[in-house]
Amino acid sequence: MWDYTDKVMDHFKNPRNVGAIPNADGTGQVGSLVCGDALRLTIKVNKETEVIEDAKFETFGCASAIASSSMLTEMAKGKTLDEAAKITNQDIADQLGNLPAEKMHCSVMGMEALEAAIKSYRQGGKPVVFEQQEEKIVCRCFNVSEEAIIKAIRLNHLKTVEDVTHFTKAGGACGRCKGDIQKILDKVNGAQENAAPVQKSFSDMTVVEKIKTVERVLEEEIRPKLNMDGGSAELVDLSGMTAKIRLVGMCSGCMNAQATIKNFIEKTLQEKIDPSITVEQA
């Protein structure tokens, strides 16, 4: 049995925004009953501000697919089309408190349906089906293209064929495409490593450089996710490899403040900057 978070179970048992919007401004579809999962997303958009005023979904799939679709609609509502277009599958999973690795493809399906719905709106409202190009199909069992695999690898920093299967389903049936998937992994990750500039280690940076580096990660990776719950974080002090962070807004009085500091902020700084960084609550 899958180890689902309480939030996943809540959105599965009590899904938000189920159904279809009459005369929707945009309709995105992804998946198929043949592959086991399918999602249809409809959105209502304010023509003057391009803010998504409503979003509804119809999903055929497992608990993760339903929960991911439900969370997606909640995240999309109130955002402009440009803001919504930046929602990634990892953002959806993070808002659900994470998903089992084998179910990450459900959050990818949500991201693709939103992409199709936005494209539908920009093309006048005609439904758009998220499709792969036939000549670039790698996994024919689940109709997954090379482009989709490359996108998943880059967006989620995938390293193994198993990772790719979890996020895209590719290679999850007959397995004949696993060799091709490994070649794509080698090509993409090899190119990324070759293109990566030589960077100064965090421990060798000046204090000013360290502060700027931490602030960049706070601004790009941490604050946007805390903002979704009405909170934020501020860098108060930096001494050696220890950063003192103050939670503000809704996060300041949250009973899970220490978990936010350690499990999210510290973990993110360690992943993005240096594994030796520690974070203390100011």
Q: Which residues are catalytic?
A: 35, 106
- Three-state helix/strand/coil letters over the chain: CCCCCHHHHHHHHCCCCECCCCCCCEEEEEEECCCCEEEEEEEEECCCCCEEEEEEEEEECCHHHHHHHHHHHHHHCCCEHHHHCCCCHHHHHHHCCCCCHHHHHHHHHHHHHHHHHHHHHHCCCCCEECCCCHHHEEECCCCEEHHHHHHHHHHHCCCCHHHHHHHHCCCCCCCCCHHHHHHHHHHHHHHHHHHCCCCCCHHHCCHHHHHHHHHHHHHHHHHHHHHCCCEEEEEEEEECCEEEEEEEECCCCCCCHHHHHHHHHHHHHHHHCCCCCEEEEC
Are 194 and 60 a contacting pair, CB within 8 Å? no
